[in-house]
Amino acid sequence: MLLDNPDLSGAETRAAPGRGPQPALVTIIIPAHNAQAYLAGALHSALRQTYPQIEVLVIDDGSTDGTAAVAQSFAPRVRYLRQENAGPSTARNTGLLHARGEYVTFLDADDELEPERVAALMSALSQASSRAAFAISAAWLWDGARRYGRLQPSTGPAGERDLDRFLDDNTPYVGILARRQTLLHAGGFRADLWLHEDCNLWLRLLGQGHTYAYVPEPLYLYRVHDESLSQECRKQLAVACQVYAEALVALPLTWSQRRRTLYLLWRDRARLCSVAGDEARRERRLARWALCRLAGAGAQTARTLLRPHFTAARAWQRCAGRLSHRLFATPKQP
């Protein structure tokens, strides 16, 4: 379910678009549900931005802990709104409805921003073509104390990327910066998706012919929690399959884009079968394990055939090369 009213004449008054020396206002939208332990860090990082025109807006998604007290302790520098628990997508959409900024960016309540992130994304978007719908940076994978890896939505130097490149790179996350009206006209986030809502939004925006501006520096701290469970992994993969299957029906894809999307769909179906098979083996459900293995083999075959750079000629060349090596290779002397 998407937002219905992109004009929002009843929304709160927003800052005028930036003209002359006055930079445009950027609203940092932070959805929060039972985020008492992390929210203060997120708010401090948002308020430390070097970009001069910042609004910070917390949407409390029906928290039952001390989230409200933490957010309200930052008043008046932070605006606080509360809604009944409806999920992160609805919370972000509520933020879109009430943001005063011409631009918006999103920060999860357990993540943090580098001080120059908003300034860097605003600069990248201003230098991009009129087709660019949003900007994104690389991110640090982070446990709250240690940065131990990178989350890279793309590779290579800074610049614009289109849908073809996104389908090849396929590493979205929610922390985009975009014009508020661009997201409203796209319908905002899918309220019924609590997982992979970022991928769905990227696909819808890029599927309309938009591009995005990429900043390769890691300027977002993406917290990875230790308590990830296999059941959560299954949910993630199942929703990913749903998102790709719906994109194949709803988006005006070229043949190349359709093939790439099918590849991603069957890739995640193969992973889902593998996770389900591992669970069945641990539970000693041998019949289910065998079915998962069989389904996984079929999905893996489809994935291989749909690989973007796969052709029958290349496959035959590789097979023939391996067969020739086995038949004619000189055996090692004992």
Strand partners for 32: 60
Q: What is the CA radius of gyration of the chain?
A: 23
Q: Which residue carries 């206002």 as its tokens?
A: 25
Distance, CA of 229 to CA of 234 (rounded, Å) = 9
**Per-residue confidence band for 303, with pLDDT thresholds at 50, 70 and 90:** confident
Of all residues in the chain, what percent carry a pLDDT higher than 90?
72
More confident residue, 185 or 228: 185
Looking at residue 3, its pLDDT comes to: 77
More confident residue, 229 or 41: 41
**Per-residue confidence band for 229, with pLDDT thresholds at 50, 70 and 90:** very low
Name the superfamily (CATH) of residues 26-223.
Spore Coat Polysaccharide Biosynthesis Protein SpsA; Chain A (3.90.550.10)
Structure tokens at 72: 């309200």
Q: For all residues of the chain together, what is the average pLDDT?
A: 88
Looking at residue 321, its pLDDT comes to: 53
Say if CB 143 and CB 222 are below 8 A apart: no
Q: Examine the pLDDT at 281 and tell me if it is beyond 80.
A: yes
194, 316, 319, 328 from 322: Cα distances, Å: 45, 10, 5, 10
Q: Examine the pLDDT at 43 and tell me if it is beyond 90.
A: yes
Distance, CA of 229 to CA of 275 (rounded, Å) = 11
* CB-count exposure of residue 285 (10 Å: 0-12, 13-18, 19+): middle
pLDDT in tens, 68-101: 999 999 999 999 999 999 999 999 999 999 999 9
Looking at residue 14, its pLDDT comes to: 42
pLDDT in tens, 174-215: 999 999 999 999 999 999 999 999 999 999 999 999 999 999
The ranges assigned to domains in the chain are 26-223, 230-316
Looking at residue 117, its pLDDT comes to: 98
